[in-house]
Structure 1
Amino acid sequence: MQNGSQEDGFNLPSAAVMRPLGAEAIIVQVLISVFLYVDLLMVFTFFRKEVFHGVTRYIFFAHVLLCDCTFLVLSDVLLLLSYMRIVMPTSLCILLCAVAYNLNVATPLTLTAMSVERYVSICMPLRHAELSTPQRAAHGILLIQALASVLMLVVLASVTAVMPLAFYLSRRICSTEMLQVRRWQTNLINGVSQVYFLLMALTICFCYVRIMKVARTASGNDRSATNKGRRTVILHGLQLLLSLIQLWCPFVENAVLQIDLYMFVYWRYFDYVTFILAPRCLVPLVYGLRDETFMAALKHYALFGCRTNNKLAPVKKERVLVTRT
């Protein structure tokens, strides 16, 4: 299998001349820099304040931020290397792509777990203290990583089944298409992704339908509380929808690739900005900036401790409303 074959995803030879960054790549770098700054600031805030360490939703939130930061850095590196036509050892590319597959699935899985935690908090308040503990949150994160690794293992197993030894010793332009040279590989990966999509979508829909029913009943005539709860659910739903749609992106991209290479490149750019960067922008908006306690701590560190009160209000326990998230 020669280096100029179609398995590199862009049909470019390994000795392709490096090209400078274009406007699209520069825009992506600016967006990623902003998102990384906000996410890393929130991660720093979480680890600096012990009050967040014992609350399940903050633990899951920190896990999402860590996964997002790692994925943004990794995907950006692969994007730049591919855009500039820089080759790397194929074995290293496979390892990086495998980690990217894992992180890409871990975020929506964690968001689904956060939805279940909100469901328990609001619809089962008497059992919330028993079920929502730091130890159970840690076990939940291990389970999330195990489930996220299923797709990664499927990809690695399919590559091992079809690629000769010489493939792992070659140098190529790194892309996920390089790992899918047979149609059955693409169909298998898409099938596993659709199973993820279906299970998470059903779980999320169930949780939020029940939450909205309880919120509407509990709020009564308090229209302000009801509207705030509805806005929160809408933001959660939008972010989770974008995160789940990204599981469909490879399926659409592979179809576009069969039609036109240049259309595929632009479509992948659109998917990356809309369904990968955008959800990772909504994470801090939904779970960080709208939380009064977390926002107070975030302001303190964002302003380097100037003109902010270092004393945090205690984390409020939710009873039956979704007005605190």
Structure 2
Amino acid sequence: LNYLNVLTELSRSLLGKMTLVQVLVGIFLYVNCLMIFTFLNKAVFREDTRYILFAQTLFVDSAVMVLTDVLMILSLYQYRIHMIPCIILCTISSTFTICTPLILVAMCLERYVAICMPLRHADISTSRNRCFGFLFIWGISSIVPLFTLIAYLVVVPSAALFTYALCSAELMLGEEWLAQTRAIIFQILFLFMIIIIVFTYIKIMIAARAASSENKKSTKKSLRTVILHAFQLFLCIVRFLTPYIEMPFWKVDFLVFHNVRFSNFIVFIIAPRCLSPLIYGLRDEKFFLFLKHNAVYGLTAFCQLYSMKGK
């Protein structure tokens, strides 16, 4: 009887946490969809590199949120899926997750060019250069996931690919050398990203001191934006360490594993991805004006539709 009571209490606890996570994910996806609609609805945003990178961040963050949430739900309910779709989902999720900090670095570089090289900004921020930049970002984002996928396919027995298992990124990190190599590549990658962000911060700070009173406000705002991106990058770096934090609990204690995973999900997945809408959706006056209009218009249209159904 005591065992059943404990099991019931654990189920309620997990259900309550899962409900909280779903509410947060729903709010996040609603805000992101509204911002993506605002971006697509105005040509002035679709022609600006800054807002194009922002829209790319919204898309990638939404995809990461959905994939991670689905994997967590499957893990919570102990639902086993086929290994082939599992490793595909994990590879795609890992690619999107790496893409986010790379876009943050690109945003910092864009601010650096806009503030420190304003006369060359228009020549650098062309559609052709943007395409090359996006190809470079997605190419770099795919290196680690493809390496992990290929290495896993080499070491795993072929029969294991046709089994069913609880889908998790830890499945592909069973070999110690693979997990360590993956971690080393991440460390090198993020070291370069940190160097670039520190470089842009120093350059923009120097430009802020030398700027005239008219440009000082814009420069200082860009400086704060780079600081916020640096904080986002820090959270993203910690996010890549979470599988290594969760792995010791994976085969030891089910409840502790899920408690750690819930905490990591909220702190290192939801929190940093809420900063992008804050940085560009609320702090940017031009974008916020259109965003507010679309939000009010959408709410008004929904109320009118609901009242018509009531009649």
Q: CA deviation at 1:192?
A: 1.4
Q: Residues 80 and 166 of structure 2 are in contact (CA less than 8 Å); yes or no, is this contact kept in structure 1?
A: yes
How many matched pairs? 290
Instruction: Select the residue among 19, 24, 28 that pairs with 1:31.
Output: 24
Question: 1:63 corresponds to which residue?
Answer: 56
Q: Alpha-carbon deviations, 1:74-109, whole Å to 9, x = none?
A: 111111011111111110000000000000000100
**What is the CA-CA distance between 1:221 and the residue it aligns to?**
10
Pick aligned residue for 2:228 from 215, 235, 244: 235
> For 1:273 and 1:306, how far apart are their aligned partners in 2?
28
Asked if the contact 1:102/1:148 (under 8 Å) is kept, the reply is yes
**Residue 88 of structure 1 corresponds to which residue in structure 2?**
81
Native 8 Å contact 1:59 1:137 kept in 2: no
Kept in 2: contact 1:246–1:276 (CA 8 A):
yes
Q: 1:52 aligns with which of 42, 45, 48?
A: 45
- State the SS of the aligned residue for 2:297: coil
Residue 168 of structure 1 and its aligned partner are, at CA, apart by: 1.0
Q: Give the distance between the partners of 1:19 and 1:138, measured in 2 at CA.
A: 49
Question: 1:21, 1:84 within 8 Å by CA — same for their partners in 2?
Answer: no
Deviation at 1:217, TM superposition (A): 2.2
Identity, % of aligned pairs? 41
2:240: which partner in 1? 247
SS of match in other structure, 2:211: helix
Alignment match of 2:148 (pick from 148, 155, 170): 155
Distance 1:147 1:126 in 2: 29
Distance 1:219 1:247, change over 3 A: farther
Which stretch of structure 1 is more off in the superposition, 191-200 or 250-259? Answer: 250-259
Higher-helix-fraction structure: 2
Q: CA distance change for structure 1 residues 82 and 256 in 2, over 3 Å: closer, same or farther? A: closer
Alpha carbons 2:204, 2:219 under 8 Å: kept: no
Q: Distance in 2 between matches of 1:140 and 1:191?
A: 25
Q: Which residue of 2 aligns with 1:216?
A: 209
- Deviation, 1:258, is 8.3
Instruction: Please say if residues 300 and 306 of structure 1, whose CA atoms lie closer than 8 Å, have aligned partners that are also in contact.
Output: no
Partner of residue 276, structure 1: 269
Q: Which residue of structure 2 aligns with residue 43 of structure 1?
A: 36
1:136 to 129, 132, 136: 129
Letter in 1 for 2:227: I
Q: Could you tell me how far apart the structure 2 residues matched to 1:239 and 1:251 are?
A: 20
- C-alpha distance in structure 1 between counterparts of 2:227 and 2:283, whole Å: 13
Equivalent in the alignment of 1:182: 175
Instruction: Tell me the equivalent position of 1:304.
Output: 297
Give the letter aligned to residue 294 of structure 1: F
- Identify which of 189, 208, 233 aligns with 1:196: 189
Secondary structure in 2 matching 1:246: helix
Asked whether the equivalents of residues 87 and 172 of structure 1 are also in contact (C-alpha less than 8 Å), the reply is: yes
**Structure 1: gaps spanning 5 or more residues:** 1-17, 308-325
Gap change, CA 1:191 and 1:205, over 3 Å in 2: same
Residues 49 and 89 of structure 1: CA distance in aligned 2, closer, same or farther (over 3 Å): same
Flag structure 2 segments of 5+ consecutive residues without an equivalent: 1-10, 301-311
Aligned residue number for residue 117 of structure 1:
110
What CA distance in whole angstroms lies between the structure 1 residues aligned with 2:115 and 2:273?
Answer: 25
- The one-letter code of the counterpart of 1:234 is I
Q: TM-score, normalised by structure 2?
A: 0.85
**Does the C-alpha gap of structure 1 residues 69 and 305 become closer, same or farther in structure 2, counting only changes over 3 Å?**
closer
Distance 1:300 1:194, change over 3 A: same
Letter in 2 for 1:185: L
Q: Alignment partner of 1:172: what SS? A: strand
State how far apart, in whole Å, the 2-side matches of 1:243 and 1:272 are.
Answer: 12
